Amino acid sequence: MRRFQDNGPCPTVLNIQNATLQNTNFRTALWTGEHLQLTVMCIPVGGDIGLEIHPDTDQFIRIEQGCALVAMGRTRDVSDFAANVRPGCAVFVPAGWWHNLTNIGKIPVKLYSIYAPPHHPRGTVHVTKRDAEHHHHD
């Protein structure tokens, strides 16, 4: 597999579909600028991103592989929006909404996510969800 690195904020062109499908890390930041960030993710069968909220960040997610359930709500305890997603689906998560994405298929979910403004430190690589949770609590 090709090793990716965060090339932001330098001008960059990449094949986002190939980069997404080649990624085996839970999360890899590919480009971090002042106002935007691109990450790719690999969610294992039965796994999820984890319930989270970004108070000041809108998020765009595009599914490239696999099937997932997306749930969102204005409070941590109530997800009043849910949708099944598959390759080609785009998910828009408004700032201030609790959300989670759970792999409900038989293969890893591969997706890319765009945050505006950036949400993770430049160059973030989380090999596993546990790594991401550990870094989130530092």
CATH superfamily of 16-136: Jelly Rolls (2.60.120.10)
Q: What per-residue confidence (pLDDT) applies to 2?
A: 56
- What are the DSSP calls for the chain, one per residue? -PPP---TTS-----HHHHHHH--SSEEEEEE-SS-EEEEEEE-TT-B--SB--TT-EEEEEEEES-EEEEEESBTTB--EEEEE-TT-EEEE-TT-EEEEEE-SSS-EEEEEEEES--S-TT-EESSHHHHHHHHT-
What integer pLDDT is reported at residue 138 of this predicted model?
Answer: 41
Per-residue model confidence (pLDDT) at position 124: 85
The answer to pTM > 0.85 is yes
pLDDT profile of the chain (138 residues), mean per 10: 80 95 96 96 97 96 98 96 98 98 98 92 84 67
pLDDT score at 128: 83
**Domain map (residue ranges) of the chain:** 16-136
